[in-house]
Amino acid sequence: MLNAFPTTLVVFYAFAALLIASAFMVILSRHPVQSALYLVLAFFASAALWIMMQAEFLGLILILVYVGAVMTLFLFVVMTIPMHTIPIDKTRLLYIGYGSLVLVLFLGVMAKIIHPLNHIVFQLNNFQAPGISGATAIGESLYTTYVFPFEIAGFLLLVAIIAAISLSWKTDRRKIINDVSAQVNVKAKDRLKIVKMKAEKPQQDSTEPVQHD
């Protein structure tokens, strides 16, 4: 029976497993390049999960912004800075122990929240009314109700540009800069200094030609 086959469930669990596995690999990989690539995989998997929850616009944005821009930035930095593989020694194993302890503790706390909600089940494919896509819905409220945060977000991105430029602008590089305003504003007296002095007669001794034998 093809109809009984739980396609949605299988797809869901496949992507969920992929997401968790790649997230683990991000923190356990021994080289940052591997971590970055596993993070890309994690973003892809969670984009798939979001799309299953009808956040298709956000899922695509996640791929475009994160995989397309943020992770590229990460890879640039990882490639610029020489990095070596992390050795597995006692301290690393110790920290892995601490880390897993925190992980278990955190999940124990979360179990307390999630357990009472176990009975809540939702349909993954109850599509919205035809004609209204997720992008339209988000766009409509973004430009009306949420115009204030939208403006702040605009300024945030501007601040990020300014901050990144002012931090990475190299002023110590030896290069020739043409300061146009200085060139235009220059006056003759800045360039040429006319010093008034009395005419001097050339002294006999100093101007004597050097004798070559």
Pick the closer one to another protein by CB: 81 or 192: 81
Could you give the CA distance from residue 54 to residue 127 in angstroms, rounded to a whole number? 8
SS3 81: coil
- Tell the smallest beta-carbon distance from residue 193 to another protein (Å): 21
Are residues 58 and 133 in contact, defined by beta-carbon separation less than 8 angstroms? no
Residue 132 contacts another protein per CB under 8 A: no
Determine which residue in the list 41, 54, 60, 67 makes contact with another protein, applying CB under 8 A: 54
Determine which residue in the list 5, 116, 175, 183 makes contact with another protein, applying CB under 8 A: 116
Residue 171 contacts another protein per CB under 8 A: yes
Residues near another protein (CB under 8 A), total? 94
Determine which residue in the list 10, 133, 143, 145 makes contact with another protein, applying CB under 8 A: 145
The alpha carbon torsion through 44, 143, 122, 118 (nearest 10 deg) reads 80
Pick the closer one to another protein by CB: 112 or 212: 112
CA nearest to 19, candidates 53, 56, 44:
44
The alpha carbon torsion through 190, 191, 194, 195 (nearest 10 deg) reads 80
Mask 184-203, x = binds another protein (CB under 8 A)? --------------------
Determine which residue in the list 1, 2, 129, 157 makes contact with another protein, applying CB under 8 A: 157
Residue 155 contacts another protein per CB under 8 A: yes
Could you give the CA distance from residue 69 to residue 157 in angstroms, rounded to a whole number? 14
